[in-house]
Amino acid sequence: MEQARNYVCRSCSSGVPSGHKFCGRCGTAVPMEILNAQTLFFGDMQNPAKAKLILIRGEGMDGLSFHLKAEQHIVGRNGQLVFPDDPFVSPKHANFFYRDGKLVVRDEGSLNGVYIRVRGTVDIVPSDTFLAGEQLFRLDSSPKPSDGADPDGTYFYSSPKHPSPFRLTQILQGGAVGMTVCARGSSLQIGREGGDLNFPGDLYMSGSHCRIEESGGRFSLTDLNSRNGTYVRIKSERELGHGDYLFIGRKLLRVELNTN
pLDDT per residue over 148-166, tens digit each? Answer: 777 887 877 777 677 789 9
The answer, as to whether pTM is greater than 0.75, is yes
pLDDT value of position 60: 65
Per-residue pLDDT of 88-103, as tens digits, reads 999 999 999 999 989 9
State which H helix or E strand residue 50 sits in.
Answer: none
pLDDT value of position 13: 67
Which of 169, 139, 131, 138 is CA-nearest to residue 249? 131
Per-residue pLDDT of 25-57, as tens digits, reads 888 887 776 777 655 554 444 554 589 999 998
pLDDT value of position 160: 66
Q: 118-143+163-230 is classed in which CATH architecture?
A: Sandwich (2.60)
Q: Where in the chain is the domain with CATH 2.60.200.20?
A: 51-113+234-257
Average of per-residue pLDDT across 99-113: 96
Burial 103-138 (b: 16+ CB within 10 A, else e): bebbbbebebbbbbbbeeebebeeebbbbbbebbbb
Which of 68, 39, 34 is CA-nearest to residue 51? 68
Return the CATH fold of 51-113+234-257. Tumour Suppressor Smad4 (2.60.200)
